[in-house]
Structure 1
Amino acid sequence: MWLHALLVAVSFLILFAGAEMLVRGGSALAIRLGLTPLVVGLTVVAYGTSTPELLVSLKSAFAGQPDIAVGNVVGSNLFNIAVILGISAVILPIRSHLQILRWDAPVLLAVTLLAPLTFLDGVVTRTEGGVLLILAAAYTIWAIRLARREGSNVEVSDDDAATVAKPGLAVAAVLIAAGLGVLVFGSRLLVTHAVEIAQSLGVSEAVIGLTIVAAGTSMPELATSVVAAFRGQSDIALGNVLGSNLFNLLFVLGGSALVHPVSTSGITLLDLGAMALVTGLLVPFLITGKRLGRLEGTILLATFAAYLFLMWPRG
């Protein structure tokens, strides 16, 4: 039991290290291709830090553990907004870019409300997974084009560019490859020993996926957004979370279902309602004053605490 707990903790560190390498390499490559910090946050950084969720859910789908695969997606999205943005906003209020107010936040809210419709028959089929992946690709292309079109209105400081783009192209490629390899190893370690803990404690795989696995795979997002908040890089901090949540609902859920139809029987209305609630709160919070302040961050953290209080007896 204690050995499994220790290995889960070690897997968190491995995932963090792998995501750090992947984000550094991917961000450097993106900046050199002329992308702004906002689109880097929404795409390269967001998708890079969400790679653990993708790998964990894919492995769970292959292993016939659908509750962990789906619970990981729903739990990560809850954790990303309520905890990561909550903590980041408490550290330093996060400014909201006009593109996020006009497009990205409303798109995330729409996807958060519509994607769970695939849960209605108790399974996300391969066809539904394929549709989600098509939507993911369409959003990514659209976000990059939109950001480039509006890029002239976004100022990028020399310090920010230097921070993100320091590695050269060769180093960036090595970091990306090494980061992916480390993430694959870390994801396998996390799922294997989290399931062992669940079985020994009699806790359902759905609860483990919604809490321990979700929090573990969200550690890269937490580190990235908190560091960005400390550095005043609000575009990356906010874009990282919004992009990660879209990636989880479209790429991760879609990819898992494409690998193997995913049962959603372990996910309740409380879980989906909590995910919709924190996403629904985020949009007006961002519109009010065009920033996420300390009060709003505290409300998000309190909402997550209330969700844990309500769901934990399910174990």
Structure 2
Amino acid sequence: MVISFLLIVIGFLGLIFGANWLVDGASALAKKYHIPDLVIGLTIVAFGTSAPELVVNAVASMDGLSDIVLANIIGSNIFNLFIILGIAGLIYPITVQSSTAWREIPISLIVTIVFFGLANDFFIHQNTEISRLDGIILLLFFVFFLYYVFKQMKTEKGEVLPYSHRSNSKIWSLIIVGFIGLIIGGKLVVDNSIGIATDLGVSQKIIGLTIIAAGTSLPELITSIVAALKKNSDIAIGNVIGSNIFNVLLILGISSLIKPISYNQIFNQDFALLIGGTAFLIMAMVTGKRKKLDRWEALLLVVFYLIYTSYLISKEL
């Protein structure tokens, strides 16, 4: 089991470094052909931070591990909301200033409710699964969301991404090595997580909601902590909310296209936590004069996550 844990750590390192190398190489290639920073940020950089979840879910979907697929997405979104945003808010109270970030919070709630409805087949009466048709619907929503963000960001000043000229060989080396790191890392994480779950006698759901979800959310965690230390509230909250929307619309959409995902209704309690947490965030932002997530509210998020995770683990023991 110790070896399995070490291989998972190596897998996460492969995912993180692979995503960074892929983003660096793809950004340099885009810059070389004079693609605007806005387009790079919306596509390449956004994809890079979601790449760990995407690769892990693609591997799990191909292997027919529906609980891992669902637990990674739901667990990552819960981790993003309660731990990442909570820690960022403890470092520096988060104030919503950008109109884009302000609108994305309710959009994230709506996307989560749509995910919940599709999973439980409230809209189309069939077996409880996320079908390929559902995946197409999610990806269509993702295209509309990208168009919406693109239109919004055109009216706002964006930060220019740093760029240093690189040779073609170095650019393509970064892209290729990045992809290899993602693929190998994703495979190591999924295979060894299943091994640990089997050895410990716990469900794939618990492993997905805890170890895998936290590990694949490391890029978002680092980004939001750095943003909080720099007192950049828009990046701190935009990173979390944007990632949660990407996880559902893009990653779940692709995962269900690879293979329909069987839905276990035991996940409904996790949906309740995610929906409740997002609603709490909206309430925190609309109440009071300063429209911000105070430190005591951030602390509530972190404490509630720790209590809930302890509850889930205790049920397995």
The bucket for the TM-score relative to the shorter chain is 0.7 to 0.9
User: Cα distance 1:177–1:90, how it changes in 2: closer, same or farther (>3 A)?
Assistant: farther
Partner of 1:55: 55
Cα distance in structure 2, aligned partners of 1:175 and 1:227: 24
User: Cα distance 1:19–1:91, how it changes in 2: closer, same or farther (>3 A)?
Assistant: farther
Is 1:167 aligned to residue 151 of structure 2?
Answer: no
SS at match of 2:164: coil
Aligned-partner residue type, residue 194 of structure 2: V
Cα distance in structure 2, aligned partners of 1:43 and 1:296: 32
Tell me how many residue pairs correspond in the alignment. 304
Cα distance in structure 1, aligned partners of 2:265 and 2:63: 16
Deviation at 1:212, TM superposition (A): 0.9
Deviation at 1:174, TM superposition (A): 5.3
| Identical residues among aligned pairs (%) | 37
Partner of 2:220: 221
- Which protein has the bigger helix share? 1
- 8 Å Cα contact 1:16-1:220 kept in structure 2: yes
Is 1:127 aligned to residue 123 of structure 2?
Answer: no
- 8 Å Cα contact 1:43-1:243 kept in structure 2: no
1:136-285 aligned within 5 A: 136-148=142-154, 150-151=155-156, 154=157, 156=159, 161=160, 164-168=161-165, 175-265=174-264, 267-285=266-284
Partner of 2:94: 94
Which structure has the bigger radius of gyration?
2
Cα distance in structure 2, aligned partners of 1:234 and 1:49: 18
Cα distance in structure 2, aligned partners of 1:123 and 1:174: 39
- 8 Å Cα contact 1:278-1:303 kept in structure 2: no
1:23-34 aligned within 5 A: 23-24=23-24, 33-34=35-36
Partner of 1:72: 72
For residues 278-299 of structure 1, the C-alpha deviation after alignment (integer angstroms, 9 at most, x for no partner) is: 1111222234423333222211
Aligned-partner residue type, residue 55 of structure 2: L
Deviation at 1:179, TM superposition (A): 2.8
Cα distance in structure 2, aligned partners of 1:28 and 1:231: 25
Is 1:301 aligned to residue 302 of structure 2?
Answer: yes
For residues 28-86 of structure 1, the C-alpha deviation after alignment (integer angstroms, 9 at most, x for no partner) is: 7789744469x94x654443211111111111110011100111000000001111111
Query: TM-score, structure 1 length as denominator?
Result: 0.87
Cα distance in structure 2, aligned partners of 1:282 and 1:176: 37
SS at match of 1:278: helix
Partner of 1:107: 107
The root-mean-square deviation of aligned C-alpha atoms, in Å, is: 2.5
Deviation at 1:233, TM superposition (A): 3.4
- 8 Å Cα contact 2:98-2:234 kept in structure 1: no
Cα distance in structure 2, aligned partners of 1:278 and 1:177: 38
Deviates more, 1:237-246 or 1:75-84: 237-246
User: Cα distance 1:28–1:302, how it changes in 2: closer, same or farther (>3 A)?
Assistant: farther
- 8 Å Cα contact 2:131-2:261 kept in structure 1: yes
- 5+ residue gaps, structure 2, are 121-126
Deviation at 1:143, TM superposition (A): 0.7
Deviation at 1:26, TM superposition (A): 5.7
Deviation at 1:302, TM superposition (A): 1.3
Cα distance in structure 2, aligned partners of 1:233 and 1:102: 14
Deviation at 1:177, TM superposition (A): 4.5
For residues 222-268 of structure 1, the C-alpha deviation after alignment (integer angstroms, 9 at most, x for no partner) is: 11221222233333322221111111111111111111110111642
Partner of 2:123: none
Aligned-partner residue type, residue 98 of structure 1: S
SS at match of 1:226: helix
User: Cα distance 1:165–1:139, how it changes in 2: closer, same or farther (>3 A)?
Assistant: same
Aligned-partner residue type, residue 136 of structure 1: F
- 8 Å Cα contact 1:11-1:190 kept in structure 2: yes
Is 1:290 aligned to residue 291 of structure 2?
Answer: yes
Deviation at 1:17, TM superposition (A): 1.7
- 8 Å Cα contact 1:126-1:260 kept in structure 2: yes
Deviation at 1:93, TM superposition (A): 2.4
Partner of 2:81: 81
- 8 Å Cα contact 1:67-1:267 kept in structure 2: no
Partner of 2:14: 14
Cα distance in structure 1, aligned partners of 2:261 and 2:204: 14
Cα distance in structure 2, aligned partners of 1:264 and 1:191: 19
